Structure 1
Amino acid sequence: MKKILLFLALFVSLNFFAQEFQGTAVYESKTSTAELMKNFGGNREITPEMQKNIEERMKKMFEKTFILNFNKSASIYKEEEKLDAPGTNNNGRMMMSMMGGGGTQYKNVKEKMYAVDKEFFSKEFLIKDSLPKYQWQMVSETKKIGEYTCFKATAVVATDPTDFRNFRMRGPRNEENKEKEQKQKDSVNGTKKTNFMNDDIEQIKEKTITAWYCPEIPINQGPDKYWGLPGLILEVNDGTTVLLCSKIVLNSKEKVEIKAPTKGKEVTQKEYDEIVKKKMEEMREMYGGQRGGGTGGRRGF
């Protein structure tokens, strides 16, 4: 009887520990501004000094700190709260939305779902959808990140169509391709456009990402939307942006409540993407019309 009670007590304590287990990981985000400018073909009319100035401004805009709080089954991920720098305004928050960021991102790997609250054009949205499935290719290559030994994994992922970092200038086109594209444009009503960029810019549909995960922290969580490896992901590199863990705290006395956001109009990821693309296309038409002598117009969601 005593053995049974001891077993039950041990089971309960282990179960309690599993429920209480919690950690915090801090990630630093860095984006290659040179790579971004290369994607958009650069600008031959600006001087090297002007280009350097632009890259420095972009660098400051992209260098951010994010906090991931996690337990065995769920996590919340958001930008570290800081006092707004002088000159920060709605345009900065708008740019964050156009980079696919903003808000609090909640991932529940047990329920295979995520939720993220975002503000776009002063309207709050609550995106709820299934977690993306990554076909991870794990290899034996390792490296140290801080004191942790991490293993390498790669995956080909679909890019975010609302993040301008996933766009680039179209490559050279021959006359035959130009003629085909013109016929396609002529045969499609202009109101049916789905790309909020102009005709010389295209979306990079897929990217190969490299992740480094740590089996010593056996949870399948990671920064941003990434998850699904047998260990906490400490670094992600998509070729343009790197998210690198700079600090980990496990089982701190100060517990953080990990729960899904609830504010905003509930939409799926696809619905939100369509809302953003539609709004960007309206802005392009409005400002394009003003440059061409038109008046344009503004419509709601």
Structure 2
Amino acid sequence: MKKLSYYLLLMLAFSQAQAQKDFQGMAVYESKTQAPKFEGMRGNRDITPEMQKNMEERMKQMLEKTFILNFDKSASIYKEEEKLETPGQQGGGMRVMMNSFMGGGGTFYKDVKSKSYTVDKEFMGKEFLVVDSLPKLNWKLEQETKQIGGYTCYKATAVKPASKTDFRNFRPKNNDDKKTEDKKDEAKKTSGETKTNFEDNFEMPKEVAIIAWYTPEVPVNQGPENYWGLPGLILEVNDGRTTILCSKIVLNAKDKVEIKPSKKGKVISQKDYDDTVIKKMEEFREMNRGRAGGPPPMMGR
């Protein structure tokens, strides 16, 4: 009888270990970024109200995306959901690059055991494979809770450096900065210049405040994009302009997904990739200096 009990306990322990090994989940996230207003372009003779409206509408569409996160106990892949292009929609390599500039594009692989990530990027017709260490955020765990999709979620906050190559980090300038720019605009009008640049109204902050909501009911150290480090799956992230919200979770589906990093592209660190993007964008800005105002040069994550 004792032997039977021992074997039963052994089999139970083995089955639990196997279940943990085979554990896998899928989460769907809706990402929305507040579209910038092009009000500063109204003084530009080259930008008509209709053009301004079209620019804002197109920007809004590009800033609303759906992502799929497939995860197991130690790793995950995060990728934008593939959609059929509508007639007349910008496509090809340009669309891929634009997606990369605003949080999409490529497959983001996270390994929380090795604390590393891999993401494939396309920039200026070249493919890069960014491989680096996961950013370490000093999360502050709060007592506040709320329900997301039937899961009890807890609040956590952190502050992180703003990526200079993520277009979504642009913020409207504060009133003091705007007053200074308004004086410059008046000087331009006096001298006959009426063109206004998008960058006159927006700035890149040094850091951004993050609010996240995680659920211990899904005990994995994972989340959307490069977010991780909390005692449960992150279901919502907000940085003041971009909100990423989980709309669906499926655990232990019958069909498993292979969770592994991409292999395509030139291997490069995040810093070297950012430096490459910034250098090319500065060159682009110099080439177009003096032209009519428009959106700032788009940059990748």
User: TM-score per shorter chain, which class?
Assistant: 0.7 to 0.9
Matches within 5 A, 1:83-94: 83-86=84-87, 87-89=89-91, 90-94=93-97
Match of 1:183 in 2: none
**1:101 aligned to which of 99, 104, 115:** 104
In the alignment, residue 42 of structure 1 is paired with which amino acid? G
User: Is contact 2:97–2:105 with CA below 8 Å preserved after alignment?
Assistant: no
Q: 1:248 to 1:10 in 2, by over 3 A?
A: same
Q: Distance in 2 between matches of 1:138 and 1:169?
A: 29
Contact 2:221 2:233 survives alignment (8 Å): yes
Residue equivalent to 1:189: none
Give, in whole Å, the separation in 1 of the partners of 2:86 and 2:163: 28
Q: TM-score, normalised by structure 1?
A: 0.80
- Tell me the distance in 2 between the aligned counterparts of 1:198 and 1:47: 18
* Structure 2 partner of 1:271: 272
Q: Deviations over 1:178-214 (max 9, x none)?
A: 9xxxxxxxxxxxxxxxxxx978864211000111101
The 1:204–1:24 alpha-carbon spacing in structure 2 relative to 1, beyond 3 Å, is same
Residue 102 of structure 1: CA displacement? 1.2
Structure-2 residue corresponding to 1:235: 236
User: CA offsets per residue over residues 24-58 of structure 1, 9 Å max, x none?
Assistant: 0000111112xx33xx7733437877655433222
**Alignment partner of 1:266: what SS?**
strand
When the two chains are superposed, the root-mean-square deviation of aligned CA atoms in Å is 2.5
Maintained 8 Å contact 1:69/1:76: yes
Q: What corresponds to 2:16 in structure 1?
A: 14
Say if 1:115 and 1:260, in contact at 8 Å, map to a contact too: yes
Distance 1:52 1:201, change over 3 A: closer
1:225-264 to 2 correspondences below 5 Å: 225-264=226-265
Q: Which amino acid aligns with 1:15?
A: A
Question: Structure 2 vs 1, CA of residues 169 and 247 (structure 1 numbering), >3 Å: closer, same or farther?
Answer: closer
Alignment of structure 1 residues 1-301 onto 2, 5 Å: 1-33=3-35, 36-37=36-37, 42-45=40-43, 51-86=52-87, 87-89=89-91, 90-168=93-171, 171=177, 202-288=203-289
Secondary structure, counterpart of 1:59 in structure 2? helix
Query: Percent identity among equivalent residues?
Result: 62
For residues 94-142 of structure 1, give each alpha carbon's deviation from its aligned partner in whole angstroms, at most 9, with x where no partner exists.
Answer: 2222224310000011111110011111111110111110111111111
Q: Name the amino acid aligned to 2:288.
A: Y
Instruction: Give the match's secondary structure for 1:10.
Output: helix
Cα distance in 1 between the residues matched to 2:21 and 2:82 = 27
Q: Which amino acid aligns with 1:8?
A: L
Give the drift of 1:92. Answer: 2.5
| Paired amino acid for 1:32 | Q
Q: Could you list the runs of 5+ residues in structure 2 that have no partner in the other structure? A: 185-197, 292-301
Answer whether contact 2:31 2:244 (CA < 8 A) is retained. yes
**1:151-188 Cα distance to aligned partner (Å, 9 max, x none):** 111110111211122234662587xxx9xxxxxxxxxx
